Structure 1
Amino acid sequence: MLDDNGFTRPTYDELVSDLTAKWLELFGSDSDTSSHSVAGVFIRLIAYFMNILYQLAEKVYNAQFLSTATGVSLDKIAANYGLYRNPAAQAITELTFTGTPGYLLPANTLFKTAEGIEFQTADDLIFSVDGRGNGTAYAVDVGSVYNVPANTIIYQVEPTSDIISVTNVEPVESGADSETDLELANRIRIANDTRPSSPANGIISAVMAVTGVKTVQVVQNNTLSEDEFGNPPKTIHVYVDGGDEEKIADALFNSVSAGIQTVGSKQQVMTDNAGFSDNVIAFDYAQQTAIYVSINAQTNLDFETDGIQQIKNAVNDYLTKVPMGGIVRFSYLYKYVYDKVPGIDVIEVKIGSSKDSLTMADVQLQQFAIPVTTADSLVVTENA
């Protein structure tokens, strides 16, 4: 039904009720319209197909609105704003090695974290005379699951004595899942709200368009003295959660006004259209704050053999949804675990900012921090 309140789809039961009423009107009030009668079966058959048509009509109606459009329909709305759904992205990092001087490390050699998240080297690498080397490594697949903390890629998949140690000095940030409907709709709203925009809003809109970026904060120091965060006078400090470093720098270079200095530990030298190559763009990734989580699960026969890992995945899935500087809600973990992991009767959840302060209370993050877990900070026990 389409009226002043918009489109309202009747339910299957309502269709059966309306068709039954019409049948009794046409063929007499004493007609047998029970579910097992000929008339009742015919009514429910018609109602079944009408319900499908109404569902289609509802989808067509909702497809024109940003708040209700999904899938391809949302993609088409985004295209009206010059935006496109970000695809899943492959994580890239630099690995640091020590080992036998002169050892040739072949391309495509695999290394992994304690959780089995694997990366492979991009090119052949020859260790220096002091047995050291640095090389680029790619995740074996796409997705945000490959965004791992610093110093976690430390295991060889096929061990060799010529490699003494391997690690990633910096956290991995560039992996990304395919942009969800909710994330794309939010980015459309940001793009719409920031036209015309202030410099800060323009920067947020530009950086949010980078694949893998989930949250952006911009700190402007418009004073002639250092601000409370240690930023120099007349500067902009951008904090980013996720995304590739070079792509973020490019987005900043094309959105920050000329003459404004950017600050941060991540720096890229950019070349402008005139060929001038001394433009330095700086920013920082969000600070990764380890959240300590303790979960005790009482399980039943439906609990699967990898159920503990499923619980850990559910916890990390929730933490990726917490915005920079947000609040980690311990109660939300119950929903994520119950919804995603079968075979659980009851769980007990405690969280904290250290392993000695676990409570059933929320954790407030610092302004530029995002929550992460490590192998030591996330502990799941079964039937303890």
Structure 2
Amino acid sequence: MADYGITERGFVRKEVHTLLDEARDRAKAAFGADVDLTGTSALMKVLQVTAAEDARLWRRLEDLYYAGFLSTAVGDDLDLLGEDLGVRRPYLTSVGEVTLTVRDPLPERVYVLPEGTVLVTAAPVIAFHTTATVRLSAASDTATVGARAFVAGPGGDVAANQVVAIDPDYQAHYLSVAPPTTFAVANPRGFTGGSGQEDDETYRSRLLGRSRTMWTPAAVREAVLSVPGVVDVLLSDPLGGVDVSQSYFGVFPFDQRLFSDERRIGEPYFFSVVVAHEFARPWRTEGSVTGLFEQVTAAIDRVRPVGIHPQVVEADHIEVGLRARLVTQPGYDAQVLVGALTERLAVDIGGLALGGDVLYSQVMRALVEQPGVSDVQDLRLRRCPPVFGRITLGGVPFATDPVEAGPGENLAMGPTEIAVFTIDSALLDLEVMPR
């Protein structure tokens, strides 16, 4: 006979047919083997109803059993397990659209508002950022662009016409605008989405990956990655393990000499945290937006021991692009084709981590898999800024011109570099030729 309930294979529930068979056996034992158990008998109807109710109870017992495990809990049960771990289900970020207008522009001048332009509401200030580059001029003085709140949660779900201006500090630092030229900002419709929360699978992954220790590389990495806007993190702990670079490594008695110098008692100990982040989020606090540097430092402070301090540094964000000639099939619009390709590349390259190389084969695959492309010629990958000079007399040379890799070559990234691709990059040069 099969085992039911909590077993070595997990929880095994009884189905309706099993419960009904057991009910028939009990009825025969109670009323005799000749009791009427046909489908139209009154007793059989009662047994069918009670078996259906018992099946519902078994399903509920199964749900209660699996609600106690992170890998199987869902909904409110998963929220309760997350609260036990001290990690509440995060809110999503409010999104919407804003209309930007330039007033009294200078003739023949184009005003570029880059992706990440900081927009604010009236007091109490709520900050947003644009999600695409906007170009305004006297001939085209108005544009509509998507925007997102910097801070997740329902606070970003503002009503229509609440976003009123570009952040003054951001404009003073990054936008060269002199009176009488000004910018007007409005959101015709309200922002939405901030009241929603992460789906079960995303939240489950966050909980399963949570470190159970207070001070390990995994705990620090988890704390940094929990900061909104952080893409990847690299930890460098020079005294945290065996130093195999020592010349005497492996040639001495283990109980007599050290691998490397120990930290003296009372001296502060520093380790490095390299942080790669979303392009739209500022590294340092600017105006109404708290910088990622301050947020990451605060997150690490919650898990670090006394006397151990982080050196938080920004990763080298390397803009990448490509040059290629595309031969297209008849009937395909060139602009639509290029737009689809750039969106595909933005997704593929945006998934790279620190030190992840941009592979020639990966880019080629994205191009040839695009419907309408019959051939790809002279593909070259580009990066800017180029690699810093390693040995030099005087200052370290740094060029602003991009470096173009040779045919078939990958773009190799250093351990503290991360590739960044934007759909309107100046490094993107796609020539479309009809077949």
TM-score normalized with structure 2 length:
0.44
> Looking at CA atoms only, which structure, 1 or 2, has the larger radius of gyration?
2
